[in-house]
Structure 1
Amino acid sequence: MFSLGSSHRYYLYGGHCDMRKSFDGLCGLVSSGLCRGATGGDVFVFLNRRRTHMKLLHWEHGGFVLYYKRLEGGTFPLPRTSSPGGEIDWSELVLMVEGIVVEKSRRRHRFSLKKVV
């Protein structure tokens, strides 16, 4: 069951990913490239060099889930507002997957509780 939503934290891997990697290889990229634990419940987004393939790695109760999308035409746009740590919002991920490029937008300030790590 597709169990991702706005309640998760999403991290975009900054480099290019070899799409032949599976669970263990992607977990290695999470720990070495993003300096995070793969089993924390966060979702990690990987793109290939041409940005035509995307993988999402997510830990949920009982094990890892790997989502994979391959485009037959076009590329995944990169989000403009990603933070230095690679964190992106759910809305940015949805725009990437749907191929929507926002030319001009302004995000208004909203209150949010910050998670203490």
Structure 2
Amino acid sequence: MVATKPVDFRKGHDGLAALVKNELHKDPFTGTVFVFRSRKADRLKLIYWDGSGLVMAYKRLEEHTFICRAVRDGLLTLGHAQFEALFAGPDWRRVRTVETRAPAAIE
């Protein structure tokens, strides 16, 4: 899940977990990856619960910015391929998840 509003990048593990709980109204301890961006959109922070502690990752692009939606409150849910594209830096909005159905029967 991507927070669509930029956050103060001085926040650490606990500050971002509190933001997830209090402002986004989600449980930060479910294993969901929460993505936060800086105002300039050149940095991302990710937090997730791995079962034994909060993990935080940080990425800064040197020459470009991450493609982000307009600044507003809320959450945006991305598929796996979209998340990978966002983190890599290209325009993730062009990535489409192929919808598949589980087989009706196993032979």
Aligned to 2:58: 68
Tell me whether 1:30 sits opposite 2:48 in the alignment: no
Aligned to 2:82: 92
- Structure 1: runs of 5+ lacking an equivalent: 1-10, 113-117
Task: Give 2:82's aligned amino acid.
Answer: E
| Runs of 4+ deviating beyond 4 Å | 102-108
- Structure 2: runs of 5+ lacking an equivalent: 103-107
**Shift, 1:97, TM fit:** 1.7
Looking at structure 2, the residues matched to 95 and 43 of structure 1 have their Cα atoms a distance apart, in angstroms, of 15
Question: Please, which of 67, 83, 90 is the counterpart of residue 77 of structure 1?
Answer: 67
**Shift, 1:67, TM fit:** 0.5
Q: Percent identity?
A: 30
Looking at structure 1, the residues matched to 84 and 96 of structure 2 have their Cα atoms a distance apart, in angstroms, of 17
* Number of corresponding residues: 98
Looking at structure 2, the residues matched to 73 and 35 of structure 1 have their Cα atoms a distance apart, in angstroms, of 34
Q: How much is the aligned-residue C-alpha RMSD, in angstroms? A: 2.3
Instruction: Give the structure with higher Rg (CA).
Output: 2
